[in-house]
């Protein structure tokens, strides 16, 4: 593309999407995410980058999702999806950051530099799928994305309001037609179709109840489940709340992140003891379960619980298939409860890999197994299956003896029910319900598999999050120099104590995690470590206090 052809890049920026802020913005673990009024020029430029990425990938389709996930409504964001439905390749994150922050006057020349740097063939066709969540700022940002794609002569296709995982799925299907049909309807047909198929094979038994209450976080996931609900018949009785009506605000006092972080039930529904509830997040890529016990105390079934539930059942099916050469592993982050790690390794006898926070790290590690189960404690996760696994199980489903065929056919349904591209609250919901039904379990039986160590998460505002450096999958702090020694000293005071700190990927805060033998001790340890971070890493605002 001759330099004159890049003039439209500057023209669109100057006339329609000018850079009006000098605030530096960085592509983090979930793309760009900040106040929506700072993002229009960024999203326009990511439209440019998506076209370049498509051409570098020989014209394969790239995705752009406009969302700030579990953040509150005034925020928004954008992230790019690579051709296999995975997160943007990490080496391109720096390129995205550079392009987002240059001045309008330098945008044309920087775009030209990036074209040369990545060796993009500008004569190739380029395809970009664009989706958005339900935020009132999303349509304007989606329009900016379209303009960015058009400016470099790419072809945009708008999906409107979809969950983040649906867009990941459609990108994957567009580039690999063996995976499914690249439409929202194609997603429902595959995921929900597999759920109905498995439920015909495993009738309701034991203590399992088909009624499930779902907190939609006033976001897109609840809206899509409302569409699906009408097709489920007697297989699953979904009672949906927080669907965005009656003045409900996105993720405000509801949703997976609120439930996980506050360890309180969401607003919007009257709870009955032992009623099974699932909470989605705003863009439908996270899910946690919970219930209130007979003392009205909330019992949380988070990503760790979902991972162990799925891994245990898949292990049973593999045993039923009489398969020994397929290697299953579970991937966690440092946020995983220590009790879950012990249960997985000692009871399930499944190897565990610990990686840095961020779904891209978990996904990559999971691919090293024939069957990789990965979940963050926040409820973001899925299962990935190798081609060898799929071909092996398909063969057994046809050629094995009666019992082997039965297990293999159930596993094939689970595989089809799984959105392997990314964590998917809707897919994960159907997976959890399938396993609970197969086992005849209610929430208390699910909870009884192991006992979580009490934990607490806090955050400390700092002048510069880059003052904190970590190693060993973020479990050890290497800077400031004396901080890890202080953390070790504090941890040693508590039975079953564990704590780590890590900088946020998107804002100047440091996240603090602590667990111990009692909730009081976990709370105290988290507060004491927060004080250490404040003192040694440049805390801002009021100094954290330790509970009495």
At the topology level of CATH, where does 455-536 sit?
TATA-Binding Protein (3.30.310)
Element at 406 (helix H, strand E): helix 402-417
The catalytic position among 54, 69, 279, 499 is 69
Q: Which residues contact 467 (CB under 8 A, 6 or more apart)?
A: 479, 480, 503, 537, 538
pLDDT band at 357 (very low <50, low <70, confident <90, very high): confident
CA nearest to 374, candidates 333, 430, 317, 425: 333
Total number of residues shown for the chain = 548
DSSP label at residue 235: S
Q: Please state, in angstroms and as integers, the Cα–Cα distance from residue 2 to each residue in 21, 115, 116, following that order.
A: 30, 11, 12
Q: Which of 9-18, 57-66, 179-188 has the lowest mean pLDDT?
A: 9-18
Q: Which residues contact 503 (CB under 8 A, 6 or more apart)?
A: 465, 466, 467, 468, 470, 509, 510, 511
User: Taking the domain 303-424, which CATH number applies?
Assistant: 3.40.120.10
Active site annotation includes 279? no
pLDDT band at 39 (very low <50, low <70, confident <90, very high): very high
pLDDT at 64 over 60: yes
Indicate the pTM of the whole model.
0.93
Structure tokens at 20: 């009006």
pLDDT at 30 over 90: no
233 by Cβ neighbours in 10 Å (0-12 / 13-18 / 19+) ranks as exposed
**Mean pLDDT value across residues 395-407:** 97
pLDDT digits (tens, 9 = 90+) for 143-187: 999 999 999 999 999 999 999 999 999 999 999 999 999 999 999
DSSP label at residue 294: T
pLDDT digits (tens, 9 = 90+) for 98-153: 999 999 999 999 999 999 999 999 999 999 999 999 999 999 999 999 999 999 99
Domain with CATH 3.30.310.50 in the chain: 455-536
pLDDT at 525 over 70: yes
pLDDT at 4 over 60: no
% residues pLDDT > 70 (the chain) = 99
Of 3.40.50, 1.10.3470, 3.40.120, 1.10.10, the CATH number of 187-300 is 3.40.120
Give the model's pLDDT for residue 459. 93
Domain with CATH 3.40.120.10 in the chain: 3-161, 303-424
pLDDT at 336 over 80: yes
pLDDT digits (tens, 9 = 90+) for 288-318: 999 999 999 999 999 999 999 999 999 999 9
pLDDT digits (tens, 9 = 90+) for 213-235: 999 999 999 999 999 999 998 89
Q: Which residues contact 116 (CB under 8 A, 6 or more apart)?
A: none
The beta strands (E) that lie in 390-517 are given as 455-461, 469-471, 476-479, 498-503, 509-515
Give the model's pLDDT for residue 464. 93
Peptide bond into 284 cis (omega under 30): no
pLDDT band at 271 (very low <50, low <70, confident <90, very high): very high
Alpha-helix residue ranges (DSSP H) falling in 36-183 = 40-56, 93-101, 104-118, 138-151, 164-175
User: Taking the domain 3-161, which CATH number applies?
Assistant: 3.40.120.10
């Amino acid at each position: 593309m001759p330099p004159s052809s890049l003039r439209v890049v500057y023209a669109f920026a100057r006339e329609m999407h000018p850079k009006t802020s000098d605030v530096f913005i960085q592509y983090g673990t979930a793309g760009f995410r900040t106040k929506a009024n700072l993002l229009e020029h960024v999203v326009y430029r990511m439209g440019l980058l998506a076209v370049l990425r498509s051409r570098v990938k020989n014209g394969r389709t790239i995705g752009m999702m406009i969302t700030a996930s579990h953040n509150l409504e005034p925020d928004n964001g954008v992230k790019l999806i690579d051709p296999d439905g995975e997160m943007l390749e990490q080496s391109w994150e720096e390129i995205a950051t550079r392009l987002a922050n240059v001045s309008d006057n330098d945008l044309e020349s920087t775009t030209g530099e990036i074209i040369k740097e990545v060796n993009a063939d500008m004569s190739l066709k380029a395809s970009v799928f664009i989706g958005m969540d339900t935020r009132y700022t999303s349509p304007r940002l989606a329009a900016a994305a379209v303009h960015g794609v058009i400016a470099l002569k790419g072809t945009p296709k708008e999906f409107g309001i979809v969950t983040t995982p649906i867009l990941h799925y459609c990108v994957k299907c567009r580039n690999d037609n063996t995976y499914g049909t690249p439409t929202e309807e194609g997603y429902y047909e595959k995921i929900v179709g597999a759920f109905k198929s498995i439920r015909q094979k495993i009738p309701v038994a034991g203590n399992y109840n088909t009624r499930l209450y779902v907190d939609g976080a006033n976001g897109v996931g609840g809206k899509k489940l409302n569409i699906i609900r009408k097709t489920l018949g007697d297989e699953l009785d979904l009672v949906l709340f927080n669907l965005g009506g009656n003045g409900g605000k996105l993720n405000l006092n509801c949703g997976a992140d609120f439930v996980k972080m506050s360890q309180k039930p969401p607003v919007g529904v009257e709870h009955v003891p032992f009623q099974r509830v699932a909470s989605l997040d705003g863009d439908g890529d996270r899910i946690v379960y919970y219930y209130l016990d007979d003392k009205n105390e909330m019992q949380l079934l988070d990503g760790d619980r979902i991972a162990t539930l799925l891994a245990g059942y898949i292990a049973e099916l593999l045993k039923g298939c009489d398969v020994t050469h397929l290697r299953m592993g579970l991937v966690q982050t440092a946020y995983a409860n220590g009790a879950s790690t012990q249960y997985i390794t000692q009871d399930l006898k499944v190897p565990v890999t610990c990686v840095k926070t961020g779904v891209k790290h978990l996904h990559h590690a999971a691919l090293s197994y024939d069957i990789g189960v990965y979940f963050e404690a926040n409820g973001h996760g899925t299962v990935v299956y190798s081609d060898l696994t799929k071909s092996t199980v398909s063969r057994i489903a046809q050629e094995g003896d009666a019992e082997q065929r039965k297990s293999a056919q159930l596993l094939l349904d689970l595989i089809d029910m799984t959105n392997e591209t990314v964590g998917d609250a809707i897919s994960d919901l159907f997976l959890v319900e399938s396993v609970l039904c197969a086992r005849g379990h209610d929430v208390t039986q699910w909870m009884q598999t192991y006992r979580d160590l009490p934990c607490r998460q806090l955050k400390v505002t700092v002048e510069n999050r880059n003052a904190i450096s970590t190693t060993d999958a973020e479990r050890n702090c290497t800077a400031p120099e004396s901080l890890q020694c202080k953390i070790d000293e504090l941890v040693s005071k508590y039975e079953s104590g564990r704590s780590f700190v890590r900088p946020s990927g998107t804002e100047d805060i440091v996240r603090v995690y602590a667990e111990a033998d009692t909730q009081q001790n976990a709370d105290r340890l988290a507060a004491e470590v927060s004080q250490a971070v404040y003192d040694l890493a440049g805390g801002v605002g009021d100094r954290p206090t330790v509970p009495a």
